[in-house]
Structures are given as structure tokens and as C-alpha cells.
Amino acid sequence: MKILVVNVNTTESMTASIASQARAAASPGTEIVGLTPEFGAESVEGNFESYLAAIAVMDRVITYDGEYDAVIQAGFGEHGKEGLQELLDVPVLDITEAAAHVASMLGRKFSVVTSLDRTVPLIEERLLVAGLNAHCASVRASGLGVLDVERSKDRAVAAIVEQAVRAIQEDHAEVIVLGCGGMAGLDVAVREATTAPVVDGVASAVQLAESLVALSLTTSKLRTYASPGAKRVLSWPLSEHLS
């Protein structure tokens, strides 16, 4: 089984970190391929960057040369998954929904701890669209940018733990979700500090993707995610036209 794990930003070191976490969660015999978009922002922390990431991720996947069994979009709250579901015949998951589904099975309410405050509405909207908001006690910002999380793991753990504790004490959360692809691998440290179950979106998405492939299940093409109609789309794939 081969799973493509696509970073939503253009920071190669973050792609490597995400892919490493995905491999740690994968079953023996599962190949993880980490992909970085050919264009876009170095970190995704707002609507403009998120919509740009959606195009970049779709572009990167459809220009990948090789076969694969599933795709994971490794961005929290980012757009674009539905476009991939139309384009592809294999299961497509994003780490936001994957983490929320898993967290919902571990406690009545979960809280998401993410990066900057401006990303909170994007995550709240993503959970609302997916029908997962009923189990969400809160979405809290650590105050660290995506790249800050990567550069200083110790500082990131401290900031996440602080918000996780507040989510448990003030919002009555029973499970903590790490709300950023760059937080992959921090679940153990946060769990030890809070004693609460801590869900990593990358690991959750890998396990769910493996299950869907094993069950021979993929996206329904009957209506919502039917393949795009036959029409001319200018300069697509976009990366093939970049100088």
C-alpha cells in the first residue's frame, strides 16, 4: 500500500517531519511518500494562504508520477480536500477531520490546540462543514506560528500544554487534538503533561486511510464528489506552466 502525504505549505523540512510521523504510524508494508507543493506560502495561516494551498496540493497530487492507494492532505483547517475527492478514485483524507473523528471516539468533548488565533475560525468552520463541531469544546490558539512550532519544539510543547490544561479545566474537554501539521510528533509530550488522550492528525489519517484501503472503500462518485465535467481549464496543472 502506498499513501501520499501532502504538506500544504512549501517548507521542505516540515514535509520531512510530517512524513516521518506518518511512517511511524503506518503499518508494516505501507509506503509513505511525502510531497511538497511546487508553489504557495511557506506556512499557511489565513484564508488567502489556505485557498492557495488547496490549488497547490491538487496540482502536486495530479502531477505525481506513480500509482498510490490513498492521499492525505496534511494541513489543519485548510481547503481543497473536496476538490481532490472529485479528481481521484482513491480515498482522500485531511488531518482535521481524521483527528476529530478519532477524538470523538475517545471522549464526549475534544479541544483543538492550534497555532495562531487567526486560524481558529478556519478550523471551527472546517469542523462545522464536516458535521464534527458538536463534539468540539473549543479551539484554542497557542500563539505560535507554524514555523515557530517547527523551530522550537520545547517552546511549542510548553505553549500547547498551557492551552491544553486550560481547555480541560475551563472548557471541560476530555481529549486534546493537535491542530497543526507541524505539531506532528508532539502528542507523547503533551499527553504526559496533561494525562489526557492527545490525538495527532497525521497519525490518525494514516490509520484511517489504511483501513479504507483494506476495506476496498473510497469516495462516492454518485453526486457531490462526481468527477469534474469535461471542459477546458486554462493553464492546468499550474506547475507545468511556471517559469
- Asked, as a colleague might, if the bond just before 237 is cis with ω within 30 of 0, I would say yes
Domain regions of the chain by residue span? 2-94+204-241, 96-201
- Looking at residue 243, its pLDDT comes to 64
2-94+204-241 and 96-201, same CATH topology: yes
CATH number of 96-201: 3.40.50.12500
- Looking at residue 62, its pLDDT comes to 96
- Looking at residue 183, its pLDDT comes to 87
Instruction: Indicate the angle between helix axes 95-104 and 201-214, nearest 10 degrees.
Output: 90
The string of pLDDT tens digits covering residues 190-232 is: 999 999 999 999 999 999 999 999 999 999 999 999 999 888 8
- Looking at residue 232, its pLDDT comes to 86
CB within 8 Å of 26: residues ≥ 6 apart? 3, 32, 206, 210
The string of pLDDT tens digits covering residues 93-112 is: 999 999 999 999 999 999 99
Alpha carbon distance, N-terminus to C-terminus of the chain:
34
Q: Which CATH architecture has domain 2-94+204-241?
A: 3-Layer(aba) Sandwich (3.40)
- Looking at residue 119, its pLDDT comes to 93
- Looking at residue 154, its pLDDT comes to 83
- Looking at residue 79, its pLDDT comes to 86
Cell of 119: 486560524
The string of pLDDT tens digits covering residues 139-168 is: 999 998 888 887 877 888 899 999 999 999
- Residue 75 phi/psi, 5° resolution? -135, 140
User: By percentage, how much of the chain surpasses pLDDT 70?
Assistant: 100
Distance CA 50, CA 228 (A): 22
Q: Do the Cβ atoms of 5 and 93 come closer than 8 Å?
A: no
The per-residue b/e assignment along 171-204, b for 16 or more CB within 10 angstroms, e otherwise, is bebbbbbbbbbbbbbbbebbbebbebbbbbbbbb
Question: For residue 41, what are the CA distances in angstroms to 8, 50, 52, 104, 141?
Answer: 9, 9, 8, 31, 20
> By C-alpha distance, which of 171, 95, 185, 186 is closest to 139?
171
The string of pLDDT tens digits covering residues 7-53 is: 999 999 999 999 999 999 999 999 999 999 999 999 999 999 999 99
- Given 3-state DSSP classes, what are the helix, strand and coil percentages for the chain, each rounded to the nearest 5? 50, 15, 35
pTM of the model: 0.94
Distance CA 27, CA 16 (A): 18
CB within 8 Å of 33: residues ≥ 6 apart? 2, 3, 4, 5, 19, 64, 66, 68
Question: Which residue would you say has higher pLDDT here, 137 or 79?
Answer: 137
- Looking at residue 152, its pLDDT comes to 78
